[in-house]
Every structure is written in C-alpha cells, then in structure tokens.
Amino acid sequence: MEQDSSNINTIKNAWIKFIHGMQDKLCDALEAEDGKGKFESDKWVRAGGGGGDTRIITNGNVFEKGGVNTSVVYGEVTDMMRQQLGIDAAEWWASGISLVLHPGNPMVPTIHLNYRMFELYNSDGSLADRWFGGGTDLTPYYLFEEDAINFHLQHKQACDLSDSEFYPAFKTTCDNYFVNTHRGNERRGIGGIFYDHKNETEGKNASFWMELAKNCAESFLLSYIPIVNKRKDFSFTPGQKTWQEIRRGRYVEFNLLHDRGTIFGLKTNGRTESILMSLPPTVRFEYDHHPEKNSEEEKLIKVLFQPKDWLNIDEKSDNEAWAKSVNTC
C-alpha cells in the first residue's frame, strides 16, 4: 500500500478536520435541543502519543449524561497488541469521533455513534494498512416503531448515497455486533448501521470512505434529534424509570464485556475517563428480572431477541412522510 508521506498527511488532515467540525456541529444541535445543559470541554494529552477533546454534558433538561469526543492518538505496536488484537506492524495511528447520550426521560432512547480511521506503518515509516469503520445504534427503553423506522430510513438514505448495498449489509452487521451473548443473544437495542475494517479498493479510496462517514454522521441530526423533540416532554412513572435503569445495566454489560472499541482503548493505554464516558450515570442490576407479560417492557424485549426489518413493515408509508418533513426542516 505505497503512498508518499504528503498524501498520507493530506488524508489524515482531511479526516481530522471532519471530526472536529462534526463535533462542534453535534454539540451545538444537542445544546439547542436540551435548552439547559452545556458541553464542557476536557482536552487531554495521551502519554504514548496524541490526545483528544472530551466534551461532556450532565444534568440537562433532556440529557442526564452524554459525551461527544474526538481523538487523534498514535504509538508503537506492542507485543500485547500483536497477540491480543492481531496487529502486525511497527506503529499505529487512530482518529475518530464518538458520541453517547443517556437521556433522563425513559421515553427518549440512548444513542451511540462512532466513526474512525486507523493506519498502520512499517518499520521504515511507510503505510502498511489503512481502514475505516463506524456506525450508530439506537437503544430505546420503550418502543415507538415510528422512531425506529425513521432512524433506519435516514441511515439507509445516507448509505445509499455511496452504495445501495451498504445499508442492508451494515444493518445486519449491527444487529449481530451489539449483542449480549451471555444473555442468550439479547441485542443492546434496535440496531442501526455498523461497518468495520473497510480498506481502500478500486473505486473506493479514502475519500469515498470519508464521504460515507460524513453522510452517516450528518444523519444523526435527521434521525435522532426529531425523536428527542417528540419524546422529551412525555410523562413517566417511577416504575418506568426503574425499567430504564435495568436496561442501562445491560448497556454497561455490553460495553465492558464485548465492545471492541472499549477493549482496544483500554489495552492501548487510552484515557480511561474518555473511554468510559459511555457508561450511564445510574443503573440497576436486579436478580433474574423479567418484565410483566404483555407489557410495554415485554414488547421491547421481544424485539431485542428478534431483530426487525424496520423498513418493510406496515408503518413504513406514514413514516416516510414524516422523514420527508424532517428533511425539509
């Protein structure tokens, strides 16, 4: 994968410009929707090389806790990384944007977003490999099918701008990745899109994969913000808050036991506070908890064990109209 250093730097700089600009855009939109909470910036330096900007919002009108982070980090490939992560090179470089939001109202879903670029270098400094990955997934506590449909529709439209085959493939990958296998293959939420290790090929160079990430990141504004706007003022009971905290416990289990990004960050001497900002502020771990039969809580659980094709159900036509109205806002 021969490229001169000037071309490598051009690609890296374009990616860094994208994630920093998107970080500002997302924080501005979320602050406007919250109406009270403000993101606090915590810029940090990684001892092994690089650093980042962790922006945290807490105790807002809508968001109980959330973060929009960017990082540009690098270092030497260690023996541990070779053995446990399968990385075979002399040095590595990674940069990305990540977002996790935990609303206070259980009628508003938690959301995760991440888009990243990774490079490996040979001992002579030449580029050994470059790949892109990312995606987003929605974790509701109460299931509103129109929200799920619009979320998936917006990301399908974003993927289609690059390749019409991407959305179905990325949806399947997402459904199969965010799974608590130790809980009988219970999904973390109602999915979204997820792709990983996308290398440059003929017709799909670095600019192609960066454009995909940009389009998908922009879809956050069309897919999640309208959901927050519709649900943030819904009333809820103490029992529904308890259910939210039980489900948050499953979110924690996935992140700590199965998430490759969390594991990579911790094993490469990443910044622990930034890596674990994805964890919710309050959770419950209740022994052998099961929702009541035919309840709204059970309705959600059934979907978590049986992923749905959200763009091929009866409500599709009505929600396409809603999605079009969102696009004109």
Mean pLDDT of successive 10-residue stretches along the chain, which has 329 residues: 75 97 98 98 93 97 98 90 81 96 98 97 93 98 97 98 97 97 97 96 94 98 97 98 98 94 81 91 96 97 96 54 40
Strands 127-139 and 50-58, bridge-based pairing:
unpaired
**Residue 31, CA distances (Å) to 39, 59, 70, 76, 324 in order:** 7, 12, 17, 38, 24
* pLDDT attached to residue 313: 57
CA–CA gap between residue 60 and residue 69 (Å, rounded)? 18
Q: Quick check: 159 and 168 in contact, CB under 8 A?
A: no
Instruction: Tell me the CB-side half-sphere exposure of residue 324, using CA atoms within 13 A.
Output: 6
Q: Quick check: 75 and 51 in contact, CB under 8 A?
A: no
DSSP classification of residue 45? E
**Residue 62, CA distances (Å) to 120, 188, 196 in order:** 40, 21, 31
Contacts of 313-319 with C-beta under 8 Å, sequence gap 24+, read: 313/145, 313/149, 315/145, 315/146, 315/149, 316/149, 318/146, 319/146, 319/149, 319/150, 319/153
CA–CA gap between residue 315 and residue 150 (Å, rounded)? 10
* pLDDT attached to residue 321: 41
**Residue 246, CA distances (Å) to 31, 218, 290, 296 in order:** 27, 31, 10, 14
CA–CA gap between residue 10 and residue 104 (Å, rounded)? 41
CA–CA gap between residue 262 and residue 223 (Å, rounded)? 25
CA–CA gap between residue 277 and residue 66 (Å, rounded)? 7
* pLDDT attached to residue 4: 67
CA–CA gap between residue 154 and residue 54 (Å, rounded)? 27
pTM of the model: 0.91
* pLDDT attached to residue 265: 81
Q: Quick check: 54 and 128 in contact, CB under 8 A?
A: no
Positions marked catalytic: 112
CA–CA gap between residue 319 and residue 6 (Å, rounded)? 47
Q: Quick check: 60 and 37 in contact, CB under 8 A?
A: yes
289-314 burial string, b = 16+ CB within 10 Å, else e?
Answer: eeeeeeeebeebbebbeebbebbeee
DSSP classification of residue 216? H
